[in-house]
């Protein structure tokens, strides 16, 4: 099925709900990319037992697909002084939810209670800030169905899948703020900034914890 090995398929079939997928993704170590940028395929993530946000979203999308959902991901873009984020999204009872891999206390799983992708994305807005407390979430894409990459073998290759990330960067994104709104944004409180520094996995390189 999908060109997956028997053991891989067994693992993914057990993740038969979005909650189980999120729980599995949470247990994977964070990929700090110590040896340079990566975009691991799902097969490589399962082998190495680690991933960053995009790699986690792609694996989550495959797990969703194996269990009857379309393999959808959404790209969230930030201002220049922060990092973008990618989540896998799913629909349950006509409402949108999200599966998310992050090293921080926020930007995590979203229950399927949102009426639209924009509404779901906006649930991340207030906690999406940089070390200075500036709120940085700026735009989002529509859901991208990863089945469009089946011809490249994204589900069973051991090579990186940069072409998925290149595509996510290239698709139309929808801004969530006007320039006036950006100018009037209030910084996060000190206690929020302090909470934002809480990480789940520690890196030997302190900068990589950010």
Q: Which of 175, 177, 155 is nearest to 164 (CA)?
A: 155
| Residues 77 and 123 sit within 8 Å (Cβ to Cβ) | no
More confident residue, 209 or 51: 51
Per-residue pLDDT, 162: 98
Percent of all residues in the chain with a pLDDT value above 70, rounded to a whole number: 97
The span from the CA of 90 to the CA of 59, in Å, is 13
Per-residue pLDDT, 205: 67
DSSP 39: -
Per-residue pLDDT, 12: 98
Beta bridge partners, 51, equal: 30
Helices (H) and strands (E) in the chain, counts: 8, 9
**pLDDT tens column, 160-179:** 999 999 999 999 999 999 99
The span from the CA of 204 to the CA of 136, in Å, is 26
Per-residue pLDDT, 1: 84
Q: Does 53 have pLDDT greater than 60?
A: yes
Percent of all residues in the chain with a pLDDT value above 90, rounded to a whole number: 94
| Residues 188 and 129 sit within 8 Å (Cβ to Cβ) | yes
Per-residue pLDDT, 2: 86
Record the tokens describing residue 103, joined without a space: 């090293």
**pTM as predicted:** 0.95
């Amino acid at each position: 099925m999908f060109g997956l090995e028997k053991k891989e398929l067994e693992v993914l079939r057990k993740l038969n709900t979005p909650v189980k997928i999120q729980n599995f993704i949470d247990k994977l170590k964070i990929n700090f990319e110590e040896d340079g940028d990566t975009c691991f395929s799902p097969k490589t993530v399962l082998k190495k037992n680690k991933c960053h946000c995009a790699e986690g979203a792609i694996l989550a999308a495959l797990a969703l697909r194996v269990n009857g959902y379309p393999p959808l991901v959404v790209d969230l873009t930030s201002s220049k002084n922060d990092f973008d984020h990618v989540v896998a999204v799913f629909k349950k009872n006509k409402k949108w939810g999200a599966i998310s891999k992050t090293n921080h206390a926020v930007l995590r799983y979203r229950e399927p209670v949102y009426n639209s992708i924009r509404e779901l994305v906006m649930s991340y807005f207030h906690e999406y800030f940089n070390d200075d407390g500036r709120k940085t979430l700026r735009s989002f894409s529509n859901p991208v169905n990863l089945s469009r990459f089946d011809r490249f073998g994204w589900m069973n290759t051991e090579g990186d899948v940069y072409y998925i990330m290149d595509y996510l960067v290239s698709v139309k994104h929808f801004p969530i703020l006007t320039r006036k709104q950006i100018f009037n944004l209030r910084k996060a409180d000190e206690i929020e900034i302090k909470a934002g520094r809480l990480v789940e996995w520690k890196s030997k390189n302190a900068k990589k914890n950010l």
